[in-house]
Amino acid sequence: MLFFITALGAFDLGEMIFNRAQMGSAVSAASLQAFDQRDDVKFNELTSYVRALANDDALAVTISCNGVANSCTNLNRTCACLSHEGTFVTRQCGAPCSGSNMTSGVNAGYYLTITASQPFSPALLPKEGVESNLSQTATVRLQ
């Protein structure tokens, strides 16, 4: 009995790690594709691309630019500086990012953030000991 409980617990953890890794790979691949196409990104296709790579049509995917969801564009881009906390501060494109919470020597740019998430419910392990929502995020500078 102890063997089966241990095996089911290992299965739960393995499934969680596999799902999170699969999401991470999908988000990473989509961000690399966006970077490769940075002048003409097909933002409306990124969500389905992440879902297809993760092999999960129910995956929740959000696409945001400079911290604003569904605001991505290829024309008339506004720029921002990325802070150490992961927030965005609007700046003129090419302007130096200055401030105590920003990396010095970096200029303002256009940032794309892709986030994928899904609920996870373990079969055996207590829900308090396992993440209930798996999430992966990638941010890439397009300009």
Question: What is the pLDDT, as a whole number, of residue 1?
Answer: 83
Q: What DSSP line would sit under 70-87, residue for residue? A: T---SSS--EEEEBTTS-
Question: What is the spatial distance between Cα 95 and Cα 106, in angstroms, rounded to a whole number?
Answer: 9
Query: What are the residues facing 112 on neighbouring strands?
Result: 65, 140
| Mean pLDDT score, 10-32 | 91
Tell me the per-residue pLDDT of 81-95, one tens digit each, with 9 for 90 and over: 988 888 898 889 889
Q: Is the pLDDT of residue 61 over 90?
A: yes
Neighbours of 137 (CB within 10 A): 15
